């Protein structure tokens, strides 16, 4: 890796003209910032490794691109004991290795209730019926003809973090937070399709259903359908991946992922909710008094530090950039605070553009680690003023029988050797 001999410059004024790696300081004889010897070196004549001494392969060997071989561990992973089988399972996105707010299509998390169907786009249909003036059955060709929109939104399964309601048990960013991903979605507004069929005035709810074996279905209030729901056929500029619902899925921005029905095949309008399996026996929250919350669609504000983390430890004392992601189903992220002492003192992190509604937002904060134990936390505040709670605050309100909607503050414990652990503070 080429390393500059002059101090690194960044656009953050707090970091300007400070050397991250200590090289500049070392050269001028002042105190080095703690880079291990041999880790980074002052500039010297470039080496001539084998790849610099021959002609590489041409364009024909890779008609569809793929990551560099050295990135082979940047993959989705599952937790084998979490579900009965791989057909009804989850793969987690490797947040520890991602650099921006967009999840590459091959790394988007997956959640299946009955495996990943292989849908023929020519045979796929979307039926819209119920309390409408003109019921319709649309082909993919019909759907692509409608006026299109592209929007960047996250999808988060409300079970993200669900394994940690009672205690910290998985020492991993990927497994505790990897059920969130964010993409640019392209398709047609659901309101456009509903205009085409004509909504009857008694209609108040929609039932949306998938073409997978589970025929997963959910009820959605009509106001949300007419607000910002999208019926999408593309993800980050190419057709949806089969994992994400090829050829057609619903995206319900800011709401729990399970309502974003994949392989979307039917929308039925009615005057009341359907109370389907996935909104009664599942996707409800058992409260301390024994009652159950239902229709808890909204994803409340949440954030997490993605560097450092258990998978990406520190390599010795010195200057670092704490990095993380924040999001809220309520609109935009307003502020993210970062603590390095377990929530006693907080500093405001820098939010990186673009800060979009119902999308991942990147934040960073420079941090000089002195090599002593630390407790790293991030806390997001969204544009409605909602503040991300601690796990203790959340348990006080919700108990610990829930599976879903754990949006609590993540604490990472940094040990003197730089290793990082998932902990919970009382
Ligand atoms: N038809 C159908 N739609 C579905 C599912 C499913 O199993 N079948 N899983 C849901 C759940 S629980 C979530 S969290 C999201 C996950 O979307 P992804 O797999 O694209 O990440 O899809 C939702 N839509
Ligand atoms: Mo989910």
* Residue at token pair 């561990």: 73
Nearest ligand 1 atom to the CA of 111 is 19
CB-side neighbour CA atoms (13 Å) of 299: 33
Query: For position 176, what pLDDT does the model report?
Result: 97
CATH of region 86-293, choose from 3.90.420.10, 1.10.540.10, 3.30.365.10, 3.10.580.10: 3.90.420.10
Least confident of 54-63, 107-116, 177-186, 310-319: 54-63
**Which class is 302-423 in CATH?**
mainly beta
- Computed over every residue of the chain, the mean pLDDT equals 92
Query: For position 42, what pLDDT does the model report?
Result: 76
Q: What is the mean pLDDT of residues 314-338?
A: 98
Closest CA to 256 of 156, 337, 135, 162: 156
How would DSSP label each residue in 270-308? ESS----GGGTTSS-EE-TTS-EE----B---EEEEEES
CA of 111 to the centre of ligand 2 (A): 6
Cβ–Cβ under 8 Å, residues 348 and 380:
no
d(CA 273, CA 291): 20
Phi, psi for 197 (deg, rounded to 5): -85, -20
Q: What is the mean pLDDT of residues 311-315?
A: 98
pTM: 0.92
CA of 396 to the centre of ligand 2 (A): 24
* pLDDT tens per residue across span 216-251: 999 999 999 999 999 999 999 999 999 999 999 999
Q: If you take atom 2 of ligand 1, which residue's CA is the nearest one? A: 262
How would DSSP label each residue in 176-223? HH-SEEEEEEEEEEHHHHHHHH-B-TT--EEEEEESSTT--EEEEEHH
Cβ–Cβ under 8 Å, residues 373 and 412:
no
Q: If you take atom 23 of ligand 1, which residue's CA is the nearest one? A: 258
Same fold, 86-293 and 302-423: no
CA of 163 to the centre of ligand 2 (A): 13
Determine if ligand 1 sits within 6 Å of the CB of residue 155: yes
Q: What is the mean pLDDT of residues 190-208?
A: 98
User: Above 60 in pLDDT, residue 23?
Assistant: no
Query: For position 4, what pLDDT does the model report?
Result: 38
Please calculate the CA angle 60-63-64 and round it to the nearest 5 degrees.
150
Phi, psi for 307 (deg, rounded to 5): -145, 130
The first and second tokens of residue 371, run together, are 């090599």
Cβ–Cβ under 8 Å, residues 228 and 259:
no
Query: For position 13, what pLDDT does the model report?
Result: 53
Q: What is the mean pLDDT of residues 250-254?
A: 98
* pLDDT tens per residue across span 161-195: 999 999 999 999 999 999 999 999 999 999 999 99
Closest CA to 423 of 413, 414, 415: 413
Query: Reduced to 3 states, what is the DSSP secondary structure of residue 140?
Result: helix
d(CA 272, CA 285): 21
Query: Residue 327 gets which letter from DSSP?
Result: E
Determine if ligand 1 sits within 6 Å of the CB of residue 246: no
Return the ligand number nearest the Cα of 246.
1
Return the ligand number nearest the Cα of 105.
1
Q: Report how far apart, in Å, the C-alpha atoms of 213 and of each of 81, 85, 210, 243, 267 are.
A: 23, 15, 8, 14, 17
Query: Residue 373 gets which letter from DSSP?
Result: -
CA of 398 to the centre of ligand 2 (A): 19
Cβ–Cβ under 8 Å, residues 323 and 362:
yes
User: Above 90 in pLDDT, residue 19?
Assistant: no
d(CA 235, CA 101): 14
d(CA 327, CA 361): 6
Question: Strands 264-270 and 125-130: what pairing?
Answer: parallel
Return the ligand number nearest the Cα of 251.
1
Determine if ligand 1 sits within 6 Å of the CB of residue 356: no
- Burial label, 161 (beta-carbon count in 10 A; 0-12, 13-18, 19+): buried
* pLDDT tens per residue across span 267-291: 999 999 999 999 998 899 999 999 9
d(CA 359, CA 223): 21
CB-side neighbour CA atoms (13 Å) of 134: 7
Cβ–Cβ under 8 Å, residues 322 and 362:
no
Query: For position 37, what pLDDT does the model report?
Result: 46
Query: For position 24, what pLDDT does the model report?
Result: 46
Determine if ligand 1 sits within 6 Å of the CB of residue 26: no
Confidence of residue 83 (pLDDT cuts 50, 70, 90): confident
User: Above 70 in pLDDT, residue 18?
Assistant: no
Q: Where are the domains of the chain?
A: 86-293, 302-423
d(CA 29, CA 360): 42
Query: For position 188, what pLDDT does the model report?
Result: 98
Q: Report how far apart, in Å, the C-alpha atoms of 384 and of each of 328, 332, 335, 387, 410 are.
A: 10, 9, 11, 9, 21
């Amino acid at each position: 890796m080429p390393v500059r001999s002059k101090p690194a410059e960044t656009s953050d004024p707090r970091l300007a003209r400070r050397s991250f790696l200590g090289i500049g300081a070392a050269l001028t004889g002042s105190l080095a910032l703690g880079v291990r010897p041999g880790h980074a070196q002052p500039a010297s004549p470039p080496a001539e490794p084998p790849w610099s001494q021959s002609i590489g392969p041409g364009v024909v060997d890779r008609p569809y691109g793929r990551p560099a071989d050295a990135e082979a561990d940047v993959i989705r992973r599952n937790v084998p004991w979490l579900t009965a089988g791989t057909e009804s399972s989850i793969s987690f996105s490797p947040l520890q290795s991602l650099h921006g707010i967009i999840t590459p299509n091959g790394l988007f998390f997956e959640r299946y209730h009955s495996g990943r169907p292989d849908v023929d786009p020519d045979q796929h249909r979307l039926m819209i019926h119920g309390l409408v003036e003109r019921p319709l059955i649309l082909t993919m060709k019909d759907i692509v003809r409608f006026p299109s929109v592209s929007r960047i939104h996250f999808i988060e399964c409300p079970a993200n973090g669900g394994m940690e309601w009672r205690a910290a048990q998985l020492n991993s960013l990927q497994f505790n937070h990897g059920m969130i991903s964010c993409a640019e979605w392209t398709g047609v507004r659901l309101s456009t399709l509903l205009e085409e069929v004509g909504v009857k005035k008694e209609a108040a709810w929609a039932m949306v259903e998938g073409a997978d074996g589970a025929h997963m279905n959910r009820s959605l209030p009509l106001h949300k359908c007419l607000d910002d729901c999208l019926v999408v056929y593309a993800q980050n500029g190419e057709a949806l991946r089969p994992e994400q619902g090829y050829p057609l899925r619903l995206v319900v921005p800011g709401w729990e992922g399970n309502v974003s029905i994949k392989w979307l095949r039917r929308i039925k309008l009615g005057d009341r909710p359907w109370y389907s399996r996935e909104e009664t026996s599942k996707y409800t929250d058992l409260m301390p008094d024994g009652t159950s919350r239902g229709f808890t669609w909204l994803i409340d504000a949440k954030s997490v530090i993605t560097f450092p983390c258990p998978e990406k430890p520190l390599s010795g004392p010195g200057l670092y950039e704490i990095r993380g992601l924040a999001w809220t189903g309520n609109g935009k992220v307003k502020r993210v605070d970062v603590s390095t002492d377990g929530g006693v003192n907080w500093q405001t992190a820098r939010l990186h553009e673009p800060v979009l509604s119902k999308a991942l937002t990147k934040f960073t904060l420079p941090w000089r680690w002195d090599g002593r134990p630390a407790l790293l936390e991030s806390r997001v505040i969204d544009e409605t003023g909602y503040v991300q709670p601690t796990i203790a605050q959340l348990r006080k309100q919700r108990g610990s029988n829930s599976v879903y909607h754990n949006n609590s503050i993540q604490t990472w414990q940094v040990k003197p050797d730089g290793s990082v652990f998932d902990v919970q503070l009382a």
